Amino acid sequence: MKILFISVNALLVVLFALAQYCIFKFSPNVRARFGVILTVVFVLYLVLIAAVSIHAVWMRNFAALPLIIFLVIPFLIGKKASYETLSLWSNVQLAAFGGSLIYCLFLV
């Protein structure tokens, strides 16, 4: 399950970076499809964080519990972001995804 989480997390980091820096050059149709793909991967990321955390508690591996923080961070950033500060908070979000990837790599 951790390998699946790591691969989904790496995919999310790449897709989010593409969305932030490259996707605005394409047509609206491509951007809409990309947004759907990004949403599906993000939901899968959240489900896998919850599953890995529950599995860690079940197996008495409490080192994986800080992953729950990464379950909450996207919603806190979404609450804090505004149109004027979107670039800043997008970079913070990308750093949070990268941080959860690095943390999970150390767990394996």
15 in Cβ contact with 38 (< 8 Å): yes
Closest CA to 52 of 43, 40, 61, 39: 61
Q: Is a pLDDT exceeding 80 seen at residue 1? A: no
Q: Is a pLDDT exceeding 70 seen at residue 70? A: yes
The sign of the dihedral angle between the CA atoms of 100, 47, 81, 87 is positive
Q: What is the DSSP string of 59-87?
A: TT-GGGTTHHHHHHHHHHHHHH--STTHH
Decide: helix, strand or coil at residue 1: coil
pLDDT for the residue 19: 87
Q: Is a pLDDT exceeding 80 seen at residue 107? A: no
List C-alpha distances in Å: 49 to 34, 53, 85: 22, 6, 27
- pLDDT tens per residue, range 8-37: 999 999 999 988 888 778 888 888 999 899
- What is the mean predicted confidence (pLDDT) over 29-49? 92
pLDDT for the residue 22: 83
3-state percent helix, strand, coil for the chain, nearest multiple of 5: 85, 0, 15
Q: Is a pLDDT exceeding 70 seen at residue 64? A: yes
pLDDT for the residue 108: 62
CA 88/CA 1 separation, integer angstroms: 32
Instruction: Let me know how long the chain is.
Output: 108
